[in-house]
A and B are shown apart, each in its own frame.
Chain A
Amino acid sequence: MDLDRAGLLSLYRTMVTIRRFEERGIPETGQRRMSASVHSSAGQEAVPTGICAHLTDQDYIASTHRGHGHCIAKGVDPKLMMAELFGRSTGPNKGKGGSMHIADMSKGMLGTNGVVAASVPLAVGAALTSKLKKLGRVAVAFFGDGGSNQGVLHESMNLASVWKLPVIFCCENNGYAESTPVEYALSTANVADRAAGYGMPGFHVDGMDVFAVYEAAGQAVARARAGEGPSLLECRTYRYYGHTVFDNPLTYRTKEEEAYWRARDPLKLFRERVVPEGLVSAQELDGIDRQVEQQMDEAIKFADASPLPDPPQLYEDVYVSYPKDMMKRGANMEV
């Protein structure tokens, strides 16, 4: 393992930040802007954390509807994300996007996305930019086990392989697409098996173990940076909560199954590995927990203190250029 102390602490901090953003930010959002379209990635923290540890701000990721963890791991400021969820104009999307569309181009974050697997070819395109301009950047496309059944994913894998693009196709297999179990919807045992059909290596790793993800992602990223083409990396993980806040997962999965995965909690596994080996102390990790809690307090305060967008902002950024007032013409708008 090539991780030093700082590297280890950084992995842990990222995972805790994701966990606490989900567990605090989502209920806080619900009190301000109730929406069915907010999805918690609690339980899945190790996946974006282990992958994005290999990336810089110049590399790209394209994300899903369950994308808060991807944003945080890629360096998007949780304070700005909170503002976006609260619908404030200080959010990266100026409050226009919300949870399912958070994008921060300054961090190479090409957006969470509300249409399943729709963001995948955006990562392929970003990788094409990198190749054509010889930028040496890689792109990661995140998608779920449900998303793995979308045609666009398959076309994208083929295209990236044919063009030898620096892409990592990362499947976060959390066992479910809404209430549909993966074993019902998937024609192969694992999503990674499909890599063979597109001439790329497929990795199947324990997505609750950040070190396993880190290890495999290291190989896939190295392959991409070396110009050898794409890889498919399937991380087996679990979402702790419902599909959205309105979903009760115990209508399609058992308490025993939940307990099994909770016992393999990524934060717990991390501690159990690094503390006994003396790599970092439990006190240091507790200290990070407290700092993150404070960071969340501040994020909520910042978001609450931020202004809501003014109604005329509705018409901004539809186009780069377009005849003024055409957005309202014929609609009989009030403002």
Chain B
Amino acid sequence: MTTTTSVPMSPVNVARQIRYRDAINEALRQEMERDENVIVMGEDIAGAAGREHLGFIDSWGGAFRTTQGLIQQFGNQRVLDTPLSEAAFVGAAIGASSTGMRAVAELMFVDFVGVCLDQLINNAAKMRYMFGGQVKVPFTLLTRIGAGFGSAAQHSESFYSIFSHMPGLKGVVPSDPYTAKGLLIASIRDDDPVVYFEHKGLYGDTGPVPEEPYALPLGKARTVRQGSDVTLVGISRMTWVCVEAAQELAKAGINAQVVDLLSVSPIDYDHIVDSVRRTHRLVVVDEDTPVCSLASDICARVAEEAFDYLDAPPSRVTAPHTPVPYSRPLENTYLPNAARVVKTVQGLFRSGR
């Protein structure tokens, strides 16, 4: 088994290209092969439940095809389609994880978390603490985020911040196939409950991914572009919006460093603070709403820890404080994009800053 510390945060000399979706699938498969205590449950994660006798098996493989092929390999005792009852099966996965299993449950969209939030915040997050350290909860919740698909207010949210707010929960936001695989393996192996946020806009993205299992460290950010003039922090898909903005800014002579957050709990403040101490400016780009957000939290921390290094106010480019609208011109306005990032960064260089 690869140890977490020896794995680089970006792939080195890897020829094989696979999709983000397939990287998730591969991580699940390899962890199920490694440890028979790993089980996966959720709605339609295989599909056509109970219809093997009619020749139907794995008809969905998950709403976004991330669990495809697992039931053929591991059977319906380890790949469990569930009734439409999130409070029950997420709670059951937490219960199983605290009694010897390493359960992975899928919540189809993060928007539905209200249905099972109690299990996450009052059980998964607190059991170890409340019970005086007697129990471990090696539980992983797979869920997905992201707007931009005409799915309106109840299927488009990105509220990872509510999980970061809860002591006892960890959270990761992989941004490409390499981090998708490494962070999922790490989440499953971790002895704490981890919420794993897939971004709907990344499933088709391809990138280099090693074939063998590897775990990336939880709680670590990575720099995906070096720069000296401003630090752009991206979360999930927003990392690539930052890269796009950085390319634009380069044309105007502004050299942006792009940091990919990767973990929403614990947050790698050190990585960001170090970067800002060198660039003297910070813009956090977050698809979540701005009030009490990760973007706000990161700006606050940088203000505390790098105040003397700052040449401009720590700033945010986020969704507005509104639900996600359906109509295209409204949804386009809602989503942070490179143009907004560029404009915000340019503002930091104007007015004598």
Q: Residues on A close to B: CB < 8 A?
A: 33-37, 87-89, 93, 95-98, 100-101, 113-118, 146-147, 149-152, 177-181, 183-186, 251-254, 308-311, 313-315, 318, 326-335
Contacts and interface: CB of A to CB of B under 8 A. Distances in A.
**Which of A252, A313, A335 neighbours the largest number of chain B CB atoms within 10 Å of its CB?**
A252
B322 to A, nearest CB: 5
A332 B339 CA distance: 11
A184 B344 contact: no
A115 B152 CA distance: 12
Interface in B70-118: 81-85, 87-88, 111-112, 114-115
B150 A35 contact: yes
Given A34-B150, A151-B88, A333-B340, A251 B327 contact: no
Contacts of B334: 314
Top 10 nearest A-B pairs by Cβ distance?
Answer: A114-B154, A35-B150, A87-B327, A98-B326, A252-B48, A95-B327, A251-B59, A179-B47, A185-B83, A146-B84
B349 interface: no
Interface stretch (B49-57, B162-170, B251-259): B49-57
Nearest to A89: B327
A151 B63 CA distance: 22
A96 B327 contact: yes
A330 B299 CA distance: 11
B112 A115 contact: yes
Contact of A149 (B84, B112, B317): B84
A308 B328 contact: yes
Contact of B321 (A100, A252, A318): A318
B151 A184 contact: no
B320 interface: yes
Interface string B290-327: 11000010000000000000000001111111110111
Contacts of B315: 332
Contacts of A315: 320, 322
Interface string B184-202: 0000000000000000000
Contacts of B82: 185
B83 A327 contact: no
A327 B329 contact: no
B322 A35 contact: no
A94 to B, nearest CB: 8
A327 B155 CA distance: 20
A31 to B, nearest CB: 13
B269 interface: no
Nearest to A248: B59
Contacts of A314: 320, 322, 325, 330, 333-334
Nearest to B323: A318
Contact of A333 (B87, B112, B150, B333): B333
15 contacts: A33-B328, A35-B326, A97-B326, A98-B326, A115-B115, A178-B43, A179-B47, A251-B59, A308-B329, A309-B327, A326-B321, A327-B320, A329-B290, A330-B318, A333-B333
A147 B44 CA distance: 14
A307 to B, nearest CB: 10
A116 B116 CA distance: 13
A334 B333 contact: yes
Given A149-B83, A151-B85, A177 B56 contact: no
B34 interface: no
A327 B340 CA distance: 16
